[in-house]
């Protein structure tokens, strides 16, 4: 059976630090992240390539929905652990949230692995009702680290 999958890519810049980490990862630093999201429509169809009426896996509006979420939540944001109270207090004191600066708070360390898992949950939720499935997501931090989540 032929399967058609599409991979959509985004680049965003963000800063983060790992809470209570004594290594260099414990300091606020930034990355230019690249994320590749591979999707497939209609996993249960046997003899159908499962494309939409424009013969694509995704409509432009669906691509834009992912783009909108990434750029409104992660791009040029400070990504922090919810337990990192000192950074949260500093952001509040400096008025970062009130000056159109973004802070994205995660319930765990903002590592490449946890960011890619967050992206997987978000994208899966966006397309669940539309029979579009996340096959994999790869997040590269622009240095020497990438994390991949395989969904099937």
DSSP calls for 51-82: --TTSSSS-HHHHHHHHHHHHHHTTTEEEEET
pLDDT at 66: 94
- How crowded is the C-beta side of 83, counted as CA atoms within 13 Å? 8
pLDDT at 132: 85
pLDDT at 89: 82
Q: Residue 5: is its pLDDT beyond 70?
A: yes
Q: Is the dihedral of CA 85, 91, 93, 97 positive or negative?
A: negative
**Which pLDDT band holds residue 138 (cuts at 50, 70, 90)?**
very high
Q: Which residue has the higher pLDDT, 138 or 60?
A: 138
Question: Which residues is 30 bridged to in the sheet?
Answer: 15
Q: Give the whole-angstrom CA distance, residue 118 versus residue 79.
A: 12
pLDDT at 47: 46
- Classify residue 20 by its DSSP letter: T
The pLDDT tens digits for 79-132 are 999 999 888 888 777 766 556 678 899 999 999 999 999 999 999 999 888 888
pLDDT at 44: 55
Q: Is 33 exposed, middle or buried (0-12, 13-18, 19+ CB in 10 A)?
A: buried
Domains of the chain by range and CATH? Answer: 5-76+111-150 (3.30.479.10)
The pLDDT tens digits for 28-80 are 999 999 999 999 887 555 445 566 776 677 778 888 899 999 999 999 999 99
pLDDT at 12: 97
Residue with tokens 């690249």: 34
Q: Is 57 exposed, middle or buried (0-12, 13-18, 19+ CB in 10 A)?
A: buried
Q: Give the whole-angstrom CA distance, residue 41 versus residue 19.
A: 38
Q: Residue 1: is its pLDDT beyond 50?
A: yes
């Amino acid at each position: 059976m032929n399967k058609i999958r599409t991979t959509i890519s985004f680049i965003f810049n963000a800063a983060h630090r790992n809470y209570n980490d004594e290594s260099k990862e414990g300091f606020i630093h930034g990355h230019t992240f690249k994320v590749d999201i591979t999707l497939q429509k209609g996993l249960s169809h046997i003899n159908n390539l499962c494309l939409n009426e424009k013969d694509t896996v995704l409509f432009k509006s669906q691509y834009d929905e992912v783009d909108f979420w990434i750029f409104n939540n992660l791009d040029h944001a400070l990504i922090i652990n919810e337990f990192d109270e000192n950074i949260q207090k500093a952001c509040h004191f400096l008025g970062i949230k009130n000056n159109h600066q973004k802070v994205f708070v995660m319930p765990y360390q903002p590592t490449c692995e946890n960011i890619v898992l967050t992206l997987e949950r978000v994208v899966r939720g966006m397309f669940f009702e539309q029979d579009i499935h996340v096959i994999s997501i790869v997040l590269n931090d622009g240095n020497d680290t990438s994390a991949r989540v395989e969904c099937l």
